[in-house]
Structure 1
């Protein structure tokens, strides 16, 4: 009994682990699924405007392809502050892992940059990718072959888009003389960085830790560590690189607990911050296993930097809580000094043992990615937690997350699908779904239909955009449909291609219309479309799709159909009673038809007027 209960519990957990409830799905983008967020707002009014740039992944290494169909889920994604999807790049990058996804400045314009990880089979060594606001690739930057594969940690575009910093890993075999083991050898994986010309792919500067940082500075390996084959001991583990106006480089080495400043002129280490007994600073704080060391300011001997202090790794914890730190450094004093200006503790008091980053926003809010589960938070300058969010599933993680204001204008048209449903002529509806992957400033969708492929589009309704995908319902059978994406100022941003509406197998869905199968309607005969407010109340309900005449004729058809059915029934009943009942039904139908015809005639009639007065039209009140 105990074993069966445990097996049932494991099965339930496995089902929850692979549940689709944590993923969005879309009619207009059926091959893509986007991860849902759980969001908690503490003070929404103090949040910085902007979009979240995240790149979820299942495993940090590339997954092998599978023959099982599965919609695209991993890769670069943009969300708004309500967790609504704005853009998914998963299909564009074939569901491959993407890292360091953010906006950058090139030629004083905003672009997007990312790292496309090496392929699962090693046939591609990875790229730094730059895209424009239309989500079209502007540059793909490789690393020089002798520098290994494109590392996932850093793609830092500098100098208004002329150069970029990347990290890299190489390895060599060394003896362990530094640990008094001269007869033993191990492979050593050392970390470095390179500055690359974005236009020519030329390596302008390269530095690595081999012969610069001794193996004894590592906190990950000791004199008791076992030797390893290639690639060997990852003794420093570089995970970020930045550059100041003086041309010097700030790098973070996770497995030495140290941040280094490297001279851009000589390649020598100018100073060390942190580490086990190696710091060149007098400091009243500690940090360890840190990530994402970046300059906020750097002027002469005065520097302000930000880091994510993980304070732990997979094995050990030096502190009880991870934090984002803003640190002030004075290098013109003796001794040099370092002090924490601001500390932002991880909400919930937990540790981020792997990965993550910290980004100071333009209004000095701090946006932090705590990595596992996609956990992010935004903090006010005074430290108050303003917002926390995480993926609704623990299956996915996110290495770094950023927040930016951004305008996306896709070069592709909006996506549109439409289908018609109904059981007879009186209740046909056309469901229209629309989205525009990556468009950030669509305020309104305007819908059009046309009688044929060659007729002019007729406006049938509009609805405000509230989510990635919008549903609109038009009464009647609209066969050729299209949509316009409209800015809040009225500018048309884009127009879809004209789509034919998909019809079901009418017989199998129980359609019982009067004559044959439903025929598409001419939208030019429709009454005036509803206002946006009315449409929104009915999930995009459009105008009345049938005129009074169409409605009357449909009702007559429906009544005639009832008559035919009644006649068949009477045949089975027979006799005088059946004949009387049949005559009564016929009389009712004729009365209904005359009433409908009379109502139609009374819609408009002209009143006689004097010769010296203009003609007017009289509209009888319907209330």
Structure 2
């Protein structure tokens, strides 16, 4: 029986069921497990258009090698605003951590993607700044000069000229503690700095280091009583962002001094300090601490408009009750110099982001904020009204920075398609398609085709809207050679899968009860010849592609198969024994319905004479011959 075969198929997967229903899985990309989002919209009509660019990770440092199979789950991912996956780069980067994943518009006429590929666990690779084109292929792979250490995860800021990028740098040296009145003692120090590097040659055009520029006394993370440390040493400033204005000066954020610094691009001296917790160079109407991601929004002469994330806390202490994204105005041409808050966006849940995070002003002036832990993101109106909040469904993952961009992705690889056939006899065979195209952003619907052999002409068998990363479609008959075509909203086909063969079960153990020992593939030109006039414009929804309740019993089997598959996907993560019991109950219900529809109907069926004295089937054939 078909049901026995389906049961055996499901039993084979019982041991593989997981309780991690917070991850997506796909038939077409079986190695991928992508994180899910929980999303709340306060007013979706006012959010900016675009996709979410996130790079979830399990641990901030590279994981140890393991002999256990680990599915692809971390690294760069693009989602739409429904939380549906658009692209996963986890397989491309072999499940390695990726940071600062965003779209840039400074290289040529096409958008590109920039990211930081973290150093690997054994140190054989020290990390890279990478740029991908819109086809998700590597455009540039930029190393860091050997003496500048590993490529730091905080910043890869491709500048407006498209020729250079800013990176943060961490270096170690042993210093005297004379500044703290302990000249006889020495400690290792982790100095924070930055470098501007050439994207073509990886040469360093400019570099700056904190030691001898920022005194030890400015740190809030250590004191004159702190114990000395060996390598890597005191992380006394902890640089986490760097930006450059048109005047050639650099804005840096030092988390462990609670300070933003403007660095001269001419000689490297500190032009001014904006301190978040005590009086610095400015008269200011706000405080901040442990901040991240300071960026110029405007910078002209002595006036600067800057955005950053005010964490207001770290792992141990909190200076305020809630974290916020701030837009501030700095005026350095007055006496005293002034700093004022222009806009404040408090974290919607009233909590603190103690680590990481970023903020981004969108083209419509909305503010998009990553609160980091758990992948928590928010979007606000310019006035501070929350419009959307979302989190990873799984608390195991976090995200350092998140961004939102409009983007068109056109992968060079073809769509992925998987198909399989199932049925109990020749009258109820159905072929199920699954299709996805990793990274394609503008698919409106899919056209499905089948052909009698590898060299026959494809026959159109139906279509379905793309409503998720992966689309499933069920077609009648045993379709042996299949392909799928992507179509955009204007009706233009722009990508087709490879032609491939449909997989089939072990017919002897799957409940096959046909005339022959195993079914033969159908010629799609024969099955679908009566539908030859159907075109992709003739359909309206996925339900229209399925037979109605008034169709024949094979149509009921198709609907039952679809129900079973959907039920299996729903309960696959509930847990072993309970899930198995629930699945058996659903299968029994479907089988009973099927017997009512098909079996009992067959036993009670009586041929009804037509006016000509011919049974209905023969009358239909006679009518065909007359036509």
- Mark the CA change 1:307 to 1:274 in structure 2 (over 3 Å): closer, same or farther: same
Alpha carbons 1:133, 1:408 under 8 Å: kept: yes
d(CA) in 2 for partners of 1:517, 1:595: 30
Which residue of structure 1 lines up, in the alignment, with residue 524 of structure 2?
523
Alpha carbons 1:535, 1:542 under 8 Å: kept: no
Which residue of structure 2 lines up, in the alignment, with residue 601 of structure 1?
622
Alpha carbons 2:277, 2:289 under 8 Å: kept: no
How far off is 1:534 after superposition? 5.6
Alpha carbons 2:152, 2:167 under 8 Å: kept: yes
TM-score in terms of structure 1 length: 0.86
Name the larger-Rg structure. 1
How far off is 1:275 after superposition? 4.7
Which residue of structure 2 lines up, in the alignment, with residue 415 of structure 1?
416
1:109 aligns with 2:114: no
SS at match of 1:433: strand
- Mark the CA change 1:160 to 1:468 in structure 2 (over 3 Å): closer, same or farther: farther
1:258 aligns with 2:259: yes
For 1:52-201, what aligned pairs fall within 5 Å after superposition? 52-105=52-105, 106-201=107-202
How far off is 1:603 after superposition? 3.2
1:349-404: CA deviations, max 9, x gaps?
10000000000001110000000000000000111000000000110000000000
SS at match of 2:92: coil
Which residue of structure 1 lines up, in the alignment, with residue 403 of structure 2?
402
Which residue of structure 2 lines up, in the alignment, with residue 46 of structure 1?
46
Residues 253-262 or 593-602, more deviating: 593-602
- Mark the CA change 1:238 to 1:210 in structure 2 (over 3 Å): closer, same or farther: same
1:310-333: CA deviations, max 9, x gaps?
000001000000000000011111
Which residue of structure 2 lines up, in the alignment, with residue 267 of structure 1?
268
d(CA) in 1 for partners of 2:19, 2:164: 43
SS at match of 1:419: strand
1:427-466: CA deviations, max 9, x gaps?
1100000000000001110111100011111111111111
- Mark the CA change 1:278 to 1:192 in structure 2 (over 3 Å): closer, same or farther: farther
1:380 aligns with 2:368: no
Alpha carbons 1:108, 1:160 under 8 Å: kept: no
For 1:318-333, what aligned pairs fall within 5 Å after superposition? 318-333=319-334
Residues 281-290 or 530-539, more deviating: 530-539
d(CA) in 1 for partners of 2:66, 2:515: 50
Which residue of structure 2 lines up, in the alignment, with residue 27 of structure 1?
27
d(CA) in 1 for partners of 2:416, 2:74: 21
> Greater relative contact order (Cα 8 A, min sep 6): structure 1 or 2?
2
RMSD: 2.3
SS at match of 1:602: helix
d(CA) in 2 for partners of 1:65, 1:472: 39
How far off is 1:595 after superposition? 4.0
SS at match of 1:427: coil
- Mark the CA change 1:218 to 1:540 in structure 2 (over 3 Å): closer, same or farther: farther
- Mark the CA change 1:591 to 1:513 in structure 2 (over 3 Å): closer, same or farther: farther
Q: Which runs of 5+ in 1 are unaligned?
A: 1-17, 552-584, 607-623
How far off is 1:279 after superposition? 1.7
Alpha carbons 2:110, 2:134 under 8 Å: kept: no
Which residue of structure 2 lines up, in the alignment, with residue 609 of structure 1?
none
TM-score in terms of structure 2 length: 0.85
d(CA) in 2 for partners of 1:446, 1:171: 58
1:237-285: CA deviations, max 9, x gaps?
0000000000000000000000000000010000000155462110010
Which residue of structure 2 lines up, in the alignment, with residue 555 of structure 1?
none
SS at match of 1:271: strand
- Mark the CA change 1:123 to 1:93 in structure 2 (over 3 Å): closer, same or farther: same
How far off is 1:499 after superposition? 1.1
- Mark the CA change 1:412 to 1:539 in structure 2 (over 3 Å): closer, same or farther: farther
Alpha carbons 2:44, 2:387 under 8 Å: kept: yes
Q: Which runs of 5+ in 2 are unaligned?
A: 1-17, 556-602
d(CA) in 2 for partners of 1:329, 1:182: 38
Alpha carbons 1:473, 1:542 under 8 Å: kept: no
Which residue of structure 2 lines up, in the alignment, with residue 488 of structure 1?
489
SS at match of 1:517: coil
Alpha carbons 1:451, 1:480 under 8 Å: kept: yes
Which residue of structure 2 lines up, in the alignment, with residue 575 of structure 1?
none
Which residue of structure 1 lines up, in the alignment, with residue 427 of structure 2?
426
